[in-house]
Structure 1
Amino acid sequence: MTDSTRKYWQYALWLAIITIFYNILEGLVSIYFGASDETLTLFGFGVDSFIEVLSGAGILAMVLRIRQNPDTSRSQFEQTALRITGAAFYILAVGLGVSAIYNLFTVHQPETTLPGLIISLISIATMWALVSAKRKVGRALDSAPILADANCTMVCIYMSLVLLASSLIYQLTGFGLVDSLGAFGLIYFSVNEGREAFEKAAGMECGCGCEGECEDCTETH
């Protein structure tokens, strides 16, 4: 492994660590304000952030493994992390679906969506920076897993856009049902991410929009 390659794997390591710690912070803040302001979309967004921490832990383990020995196969921890992540996304989708339907029938309205507006803007900017950095590192290392992780981070941007739209519409119009509609948007992405996590755990495909199939994503780097 050349010095340049080692440098880029070090970058990949730091990107994985930053992703984990940012999602922990984002999850804590989002769940707090989502619960206190009774904003379902923001609360669900916060729960999603903690699920992304599980996914990030698997990516961190992968980076550490490949840095030490590029020819090793995916570890049991990585596969377990993916399966837990997939199950958590499905549970989140069910929970959001039940809560959204209940809120629609009870015509529930959040106290305010201003925190969701601010958090979504910060998230979009942060995640876009991470996507750009991961793609740069992934291309430099010719690493399909890192490029796939960048595409997964793009999904976080899409979810942030859902939160931004629902928060902004409520702030401008006071249309309370938009919060439940935003939750349905999160359900769509949660189901997709859950399915992709199980597919990657089974070694079916690179996942998260990565074109082409491989026996094991971590074998290509």
Structure 2
Amino acid sequence: MTAVLQAPSQERRAVLSRRIRLLAAATITYNVIEAVAALWAGGVADSSALIGFGLDSVIEVTSALALSWQFSAKDPERREHLTLRIIAISFFALAAFVAVDAVRSLTGGGEAQHSTPGIVIAALSLAIMPVLSWAQRRAGRELGSRTAVADSKQTLLCTYLSAVLLVGLVLNSALGWWWADAGAALVIAGIAIREGINAWRGDVCCTVPGAGANHAADDDDCCAGCGTDAKPAPASIALGQGPEGR
């Protein structure tokens, strides 16, 4: 049996665009609060990881603002190229800061003190950010928006950083392993560079118009087959099972 994925109607596109703007606004609001709290807690505890996490929130706000700017236009597609560039640059800035901060910490730049507020901030972000990322990715896939999917990856990367920060703060408090989060942060920096390159090239997977409405699986497995030459899929795609379904 052949299933046909149709591009969303004009009315549905308007609904999805409004949803993406609302999700971007929610992301901005939360990250502004998170940035202030993390920078304050980082200053109190002399924690470079917490300060870095707060600055990452600032970068996430930049990415979400770029997405909001794109979808405030009557024709968001006309602003997609520039928005992808802004999101890519935010990835590179995040990778650069995380890498420099991690190296500084590993080379004896300072040892953070125990921070209960930092642990609470990291735990909250670990619970909230995946939900925002999933909702934005789903809407972006159905609309066929590469920028919405790219920004959802920025939000997902913030989730990874939340996990790294939480583990690092807990290990530092419980065992005195000050170097734990710095080592993991270098891995996150590598991921950020990869995603930045993909956003710069426009190689964002899972942007098939209508996919969010017709696919039950909304995880990242759909991106497994995407390479550096991935292109946006056409508006209508016939999916068959074997030669007989083509």
- Could you tell me the TM-score, scaled by structure 2's length? 0.71
Kept in 2, the 8 Å contact 1:40–1:179? The answer is: no
* 1:214 Cα deviation after fit: 4.3
Q: Which amino acid aligns with 2:152?
A: A
Could you tell me whether the CA contact under 8 Å between 1:88 and 1:194 is conserved in 2? Answer: no
Residue in 2 that maps onto 1:206: 204
What residue is the counterpart of 2:184 in the other structure?
Answer: 185
Distance 1:45 1:72, change over 3 A: same
CA contact (8 A) 1:200 1:207 kept: no
Instruction: Work out whether residues 41 and 179 of structure 1, in 8 Å CA contact, stay in contact via their aligned partners in 2.
Output: no
Question: 1:85–1:70: structure 2 CA closer, same or farther, 3 Å change rule?
Answer: closer
Q: CA deviation at 1:140?
A: 3.7
For 1:158, the equivalent position in structure 2 comes to: 160
* Alpha-carbon distance change, 86 to 120 in structure 1, aligned in 2, over 3 angstroms: closer
Count of residue pairs the alignment pairs up = 210
What is the letter of the counterpart of residue 152 of structure 1? Q
The aligned residue for residue 196 of structure 1 is 195
Name structure 1 gaps, 5 residues minimum: none
Please report how far the alpha carbon of residue 139 of structure 1 lies from its aligned counterpart in structure 2 after TM superposition: 4.2
What is the CA–CA distance in structure 1 between the aligned matches of 2:113 and 2:160, rounded to whole Å?
24
What are the superposed Cα offsets for residues 139-163 of structure 1, whole Å, 9 maximum, x if unpaired?
4434444334333322211111111
Give the superposition deviation at 1:15: 0.6
Q: Which moved more, 1:83-92 or 1:16-25?
A: 83-92
1:91 aligned to 2:89? no
Aligned to 2:80: 74
Q: How big is the shift at 1:165?
A: 0.9
Structure 2 residue ranges without an equivalent (≥5): 1-8, 207-219, 236-246
RMSD in angstroms over aligned alpha carbons?
3.0
Distance 2:100 2:199 in 1: 24
2:244 aligns to what? none
Give the structure with the higher percent helix. Answer: 1
Match of 1:172 in 2: 174
Shift of 1:58: 2.5
Alpha-carbon spacing, 1:84–1:10, altered in 2? closer, same or farther (3 Å): same
For 2:67, the equivalent position in structure 1 comes to 59
Q: Kindly, what percent of the aligned residue pairs are identical?
A: 24
Which residue in 1 is equivalent to 2:131?
129
Tell me by how many angstroms 1:83 deviates. 5.1
CA change 1:169–1:55 in 2 (3 A) is: same
| Structure 2: distance between partners of 1:90 and 1:132 | 22
Equivalent residue number for residue 107 of structure 2: 102
Q: Structure 1, residues 54-98: CA drift from partner, whole Å, max 9, x if none?
A: 222222233334xx225536354x255235424422430343134
Residue 27 of structure 1, aligned match among 35, 44, 52:
35
Q: Judge conservation of contact 1:24–1:49 (CA < 8 Å) in 2.
A: yes
- Tell me: CA distance 1:87–1:21, structure 2 relative to 1, closer, same or farther (3 Å): same
Residues 84 and 150 in structure 2, CA contact (< 8 A), matched pair in contact too: no
CA distance in 2, matches of 1:75, 1:144: 9
Q: 2:32 aligned with 1:4, yes or no?
A: no
The verdict on how the C-alpha distance between 1:195 and 1:100 changes in structure 2, with shifts beyond 3 A counting, is same
Deviation of 1:16 (Å): 1.0
Distance change in 2, residues 1:197/1:59 (3 Å)? farther
TM-score by length of 1: 0.78
- Specify whether residues 141 and 43 from structure 1 end up closer, same or farther in structure 2 by C-alpha distance, changes over 3 A only: same
Pick the structure with greater CA Rg: 2
